[in-house]
Amino acid sequence: MAEAAVRPATLDDLDAICGLADDLAAMHHAAWPGVFAPADGGSRDRAHWAESIVGDHRAALVAQLDGRTVGFVTLLCSVERHSLLQTVRVARVMSISVAKSARGQGIGKTLMREAEAWAKAQQAADVRLVVWAFNEDAVRLYRELGYEVRSLTMGKMLDGK
């Protein structure tokens, strides 16, 4: 099994990222259609993904296997201040996606390790992310990498759906 090469994304990667993000949107919509918008072919969030590539204190990394983009991760680094919490420089994994055809090959782990290296280079003391409860594969991956549940976000649809 070949190991994926990970590099910083450029705007030339935008179409590939939008395609992978569209797969991510479809998965989320299938699980919770009352919460997540359906996939739209990858065009709806182009500006969002472009900002992830070129925005301040942000990074987008792409994983390539045999010359094709098979995954990406986007990151944001900031100092978090709250009256109840320690002030800390935090890197947040904003989104991560691996192509269906490339899952189970360690690409998610590779992307997360590179994300952590980026966070260290940004002098972040902590890496945080949000994973939806239905995404059991992702939860398992993050646990394998040493991530722990620190809080729970709960919700209730008021229209009964």
| Per-residue pLDDT reduced to its tens digit, 99-124 | 999 999 999 999 999 999 999 999 99
In a domain, 159, yes or no: no
Q: Is 1 a residue whose pLDDT tops 80?
A: no
Entry pTM: 0.92
In a domain, 150, yes or no: no
Distance CA 19, CA 26 (A): 11
Residue range of the domain that includes 34? 5-144
* CATH at 139: 3.40.630.30
Tens of pLDDT along 44-53?
A: 899 999 999 9
Q: Is 161 a residue whose pLDDT tops 70?
A: no
Percent of the chain with pLDDT over 70: 98
Find the helix or strand (DSSP H, E) in which 152 lies. Answer: none
In a domain, 160, yes or no: no
Q: How many structural domains are present in the chain?
A: 1
